[in-house]
Amino acid sequence: MTKPRILVTRAVFSEVLDHLGEYFEVQSNQADEIWSKAQLVERLHGKLGALTTGSERIDTELLAASPMLQICANMAVGFNNFDLDAMTELGVLGTNTPDVLTQTTADFGFALLLAAARRVTEGEHYLRAGEWRRWRYDMFAGAEVHGSTLGILGMGRIGQAIARRGAMGFEMQVIYHNRSRLAPDVEAHSCARYVGKEELLRSADHLVLVLPYSQQSHHAIGAAELAMMKSTATLVNIARGGIVDDLALADALGHGRLAAAGLDVFEGEPTVHPELLALKNVVLTPHIASATIPTRKAMAMLAAENLIGFLLLGQPVSPLNPQVLGSPQQVQRKGRATGTPAG
């Protein structure tokens, strides 16, 4: 019997390809070429599933041009590269990779917070430039982290993991704001207190953003919000570019209205706003919060398990739009793939 055909859009661990190869005929991209939309559509021809990353935009145009495609398994917890409404409407399942990256990403949030607040990279650049000639009492004096107030905007799994690190490891008072308040037991486990957004902005010594990107969260931190923050505060964004108005942030950092920032994500990445690049009081990293080998393997394997679970057993592990399962549009796509007309 011929195996179902799938596409893996970017380079991935060879063991993940081997695992997928047990069940599917796999077209991969180990050269890690960046395909145009037309090239992606061309390669999706005849494919039942795709292992995607945040780099591929999955929208109506692509789905309409790929009539056999039934699932896009994103190797990411975030899925703002998916037009999920269009996927649901056109009968295509989307899956993501929750849980497996929570702790690793929370670790990195803290790495950026510490590096920005304690001016780690600024000090390193100074040293490497050969400018360090003597000690001075206030040289690269930064903000206190332990015992300070940690604010978290977006209190999902990663936000909760950051909160616990702050409260238990650094004896911080943790406050959070979220679309909906956590259940009392979850809140207690996170050692965090719920506050309104304005109180969060005004009270936090360090503010970490961990909310998903959507039209509603676009520029959730803009000039007005930055103006409410303490001038001694640190802002960390490990969520998505576009949640922060990067130009307004650069202006606040450049004029001393905010002490420091740590950014792993940017509006229009991989391009970074030149005004941010010119500043010393911002730590910039290339979207690597989940980048450890064990975590990236776990993410890729979970995406693979979603493809296997759904295409072979009809049971995805972490579906984003489970209402698609068994929908007439999805049955129609299945019918096209097997050559059995639906209905």
Among residues 27, 29, 53, 203, the one that binds ligand 8YV under rule CB under 6 A: 53
Stretch that binds ligand 8YV, among 26-34, 76-84, 202-210, 222-230 (CB under 6 A): 76-84
Return the H-helix or E-strand segment holding 25: strand 25-27
Of 75 and 249, the one with the shorter C-beta distance to ligand 8YV is: 75
Among residues 8, 48, 76, 200, the one that binds ligand 8YV under rule CB under 6 A: 76
The residue assigned the tokens 């903000």 is: 143
Stretch that binds ligand 8YV, among 71-79, 112-120, 122-130, 198-206 (CB under 6 A): 71-79
Based on the shown chain and the rule CB under 6 A, indicate whether residue 51 belongs to the binding site for ligand 8YV: no
Based on the shown chain and the rule CB under 6 A, indicate whether residue 242 belongs to the binding site for ligand 8YV: no
**Distance of alpha carbon 18 from alpha carbon 296, whole angstroms:** 16
The residue assigned the tokens 């920005």 is: 116
Q: Which residue among 118, 119, 206, 240 is the active-site one? A: 240
Of 88 and 96, the one with the shorter C-beta distance to ligand 8YV is: 96
**Of 49, 4, 12, residue with least CA distance to 28:** 12
Among residues 77, 87, 276, 311, the one that binds ligand 8YV under rule CB under 6 A: 77
Stretch that binds ligand 8YV, among 22-30, 42-50, 69-77, 137-145 (CB under 6 A): 69-77
Shortest Cβ distance from residue 105 to ligand 8YV (Å)? 7
Based on the shown chain and the rule CB under 6 A, indicate whether residue 90 belongs to the binding site for ligand 8YV: no
Point out the residue whose Cβ comes nearest to ligand 8YV. 78
Among residues 78, 123, 222, 254, the one that binds ligand 8YV under rule CB under 6 A: 78
DSSP, collapsed to helix, strand or coil, labels residue 248 as helix
Of 237 and 330, the one with the shorter C-beta distance to ligand 8YV is: 237
Q: Let me know: does 78 contact 54? Beta carbons within 8 Å.
A: yes
- DSSP label at residue 141: -
Stretch that binds ligand 8YV, among 17-25, 70-78, 250-258, 325-333 (CB under 6 A): 70-78
269 included as an active-site residue: yes
Based on the shown chain and the rule CB under 6 A, indicate whether residue 101 belongs to the binding site for ligand 8YV: yes
Q: Residue 318: is it exposed, middle or buried by C-beta count within 10 angstroms (0-12/13-18/19+)?
A: buried
**Distance of alpha carbon 255 from alpha carbon 15, whole angstroms:** 49
Alpha-carbon dihedral angle through residues 93, 50, 214, 38, given to the nearest 10 degrees: -120
Q: Which residue among 57, 257, 287, 336 is the active-site one? A: 287
Q: Which residue among 89, 199, 269, 275 is the active-site one? A: 269
* Terminal alpha carbon distance of the chain: 25
Among residues 7, 17, 48, 75, the one that binds ligand 8YV under rule CB under 6 A: 75
Beta strands at 206-209 and 5-8: parallel, antiparallel or unpaired: unpaired
Stretch that binds ligand 8YV, among 74-82, 84-92, 182-190, 223-231 (CB under 6 A): 74-82
Q: Residue 38: is it exposed, middle or buried by C-beta count within 10 angstroms (0-12/13-18/19+)?
A: exposed
Longest dimension (CA), the chain: 80
Q: Let me know: does 262 contact 234? Beta carbons within 8 Å.
A: yes
Question: What mask of x and - would describe binding to ligand 8YV in positions 259 to 298, judged by CB under 6 A?
Answer: -------------------------------x--------
Measured on CA atoms in the order 130, 136, 139, 143, is the torsion positive or negative?
positive
Based on the shown chain and the rule CB under 6 A, indicate whether residue 162 belongs to the binding site for ligand 8YV: no
Angle 120-128/102-117 helices, nearest 10 degrees? 60
Catalytic residue list: 240, 269, 287
Which residues are at the interface with ligand 8YV (CB under 6 A)? 53-54, 75-78, 101, 290
